[in-house]
A and B are shown apart, each in its own frame.
Chain A
């Protein structure tokens, strides 16, 4: 089955620890994205990548880091510098066709709780 997989679904970490969230897609999509969702705030863009070995900061990149070594994978690391990391994290991917961005496919999300 083609799709986008996030793991784990739930993650608990102690304050001050770095944690990496996994995102894998087998859709052969060019672009991948990480969003953070907090109650009542919609989705905010953390990082995005249009091609391998290249990525750009989104609106709330501070305290996060990413890599894009393979087309299929776009892991997100939540570092200890992120002041309020507890949130629901969503990964997405999409095809870029000329001047159009076709629909984004979303993973099922990872709920990170920092205690």
Chain B
């Protein structure tokens, strides 16, 4: 079985400071992992993905994530938050042993203080 746990339901940062969004997963096989961002009343936009290549993955808008198999983690970071980063973020895992279903974490809401 696969599952995804986003460890923080809400993160608040000041503009210009680092952002860390934590994600742990469980999977019985080598998973594909994704981070998506959703702005209010919009669809989801892919930030980055891990599909068994480099463990440090760079995405759009300055985000990156590191796949750590030993810790079953895929945390998302950005060195300097911008006001436009205020949104909801979802960690997603896809496991071929689970029919390739995309399983979502509960989401982390990011607010950015001026």
Taking Cβ atoms with an 8 Å cutoff, the residues of A that contact B are 6, 31, 33, 35, 40-45, 48, 50, 56, 58, 88, 90, 92, 94, 96, 99-109, 111
Residue from the list A50, A99, A109 in contact with B43, Cβ < 8 A: A109
- Does B34 contact A42, Cβ atoms closer than 8 Å? no
CA distance A100 to B100 in the complex (A): 8
A109–B41 touching, CB < 8 Å: yes
Partner of B32, one of A40, A102, A107: A102
List the 6 closest pairs (A to B, CB-CB), nearest first.
A101-B94, A106-B43, A42-B106, A106-B44, A43-B104, A108-B43
Indicate if the CB atoms of A100 and B99 lie closer than 8 Å.
no
Q: Determine which of A42, A44, A111 lies in contact with B41 in the assembled complex, contact meaning CB atoms within 8 Å.
A: A111
Alpha-carbon distance between A81 and B32 when the two chains are bound, in angstroms: 35
**Chain B interfacial positions (CB closer than 8 Å to A):** 29-30, 32, 34, 36, 41-46, 49, 51-52, 90, 92, 94, 96, 99-107
- Enumerate chain B residues within 8 angstroms of A58, measured Cβ to Cβ: 101
Contact at A99–B96, with CB atoms within 8 Å? Answer: yes
- B92 contacts across to A, CB distance below 8 A: 104
Chain B: CB-nearest residue to A88:
B41
User: Assuming the A-B contacts A109-B41, A109-B43, are A101 and B52 also in contact, with contact meaning beta carbons closer than 8 angstroms in the complex?
Assistant: no
Q: How far is the CB of B98 from chain A (nearest CB, A)?
A: 10
- Other CB < 8 Å A-B pairs besides A45-B103, A99-B29, A105-B46, 8 of them? A41-B106, A42-B90, A48-B99, A50-B99, A88-B41, A96-B100, A106-B36, A106-B45
On chain A, the residues within 8 Å of B46 by CB distance are 103-105
Tally of A-B Cβ pairs under 8 angstroms:
69
> Once the chains bind, are A90 and B43 in contact (CB under 8 Å)?
yes
- Which residues does chain A contribute within 8 Å of B30, judged by CB atoms? 99
Question: In angstroms, how far is the closest chain A Cβ from the Cβ of B5?
Answer: 11
Do B43 and A104 have beta carbons less than 8 Å apart? no
CB distance from A68 to the nearest CB of B (A): 15
Do A101 and B104 contact each other (CB < 8 Å), given the known contacts A42-B90, A43-B90, A106-B44? no
> How distant is A107 from chain B, measured CB to nearest CB, in Å?
6
Question: When the two chains form their complex, are residues A42 and B51 in contact, meaning their CB atoms are under 8 A apart?
Answer: no
